[in-house]
Structure 1
Amino acid sequence: MMAMQQPAQHPIGLYFKVWGLLFVLSALSYSVDYMALQGMLRWSLIVIFMVLKAGLIVAVFMHMMWERLALIYAILLPPLALLVLMLLMLLESDYTHLSRLTYFSGG
């Protein structure tokens, strides 16, 4: 008979460390508003902190760090492909907008 396999137990210290890091990242995110940064620096920092927090949550609390590589690819590659397609549409939209302005303005 095969013995039943116990699910892997992750040390609780890891979760406390991640919670602490999420707290620090949130504090840094709020400090961006507190320091009254403006423009692209503000939005870049906010997005960077947001992506870091989301990555930590997905990796540790959703247990993606311990999954098979195929499952990670199945979950992460479609959103990345959508982001690439959105970037391509953004680049194409500039050309389309300029060509419509040229055509409809009569010039």
Structure 2
Amino acid sequence: MDAAHGQQHPPGLYLKVWGLLFILSTLSYLVDFYHLAGYLRWSLIVALMLLKAGLIVAVFMHLRWERAALVGAIVLPPLCLLALLALMLLEARHTLATRLLYFG
């Protein structure tokens, strides 16, 4: 295969991913339909959203077939931001607990 023509992926792959995205979207809708609340609701919504975004980036944006250095350059910064966000959440809970203990 000539490099100038690019790489072709089988249409079945795209149809399978489209079907999986449809199933994940249906599950996301069912979270609201069954009136789940609290942390369970939000964790399911975020998990399903991240799965859908990962599938879209991996297959439709062809990141799955890129070199590891490029994948690391694209995926690593958001993962670092998520880790920092988790640390800020822990710090915020500690600060709130301290304020409630001493001022409330």
| TM-score past 0.5 threshold | yes
Letter in 2 for 1:9: Q
Residue-by-residue CA offset, 1:61-91 (whole Å, 9 max, x unaligned): 0101000000000001111111112222222
Residues 13-72 of structure 1 show CA distances to partners (whole Å, capped at 9, x for unaligned) of: 111111111011111111111112222222221111111101100100010100000000
Number of residue pairs matched? 102
1:14 alignment counterpart: 13
Going from structure 1 to structure 2, the CA distance change for 1:98 and 1:38 (only over 3 Å counts) comes to closer
Pairing of 1:58-69 with structure 2 (within 5 A): 58-69=57-68
Aligned partner of 1:73 in structure 2 is: 72
User: Higher Cα Rg: structure 1 or 2?
Assistant: 1
Q: Which residue of 1 aligns with 2:42?
A: 43
SS at match of 1:54: helix
Residue segments in structure 2 that go unaligned for 5+ positions in a row: none
User: How far apart are the structure 2 equivalents of 1:22 and 1:98?
Assistant: 40
Aligned-partner Cα distance in 1 for 2:98–2:42: 30
* Cα separation, partners in 2 of 1:84 and 1:59, compared to 1, 3 Å: same
AA at the equivalent of 1:60: V
Distance 1:34 1:94 in 2: 30
- Give RMSD over aligned pairs: 2.2
**SS of the residue aligned with 1:36?**
coil
Identity of aligned residues (%): 63
CA distance in 2, matches of 1:92, 1:11: 48
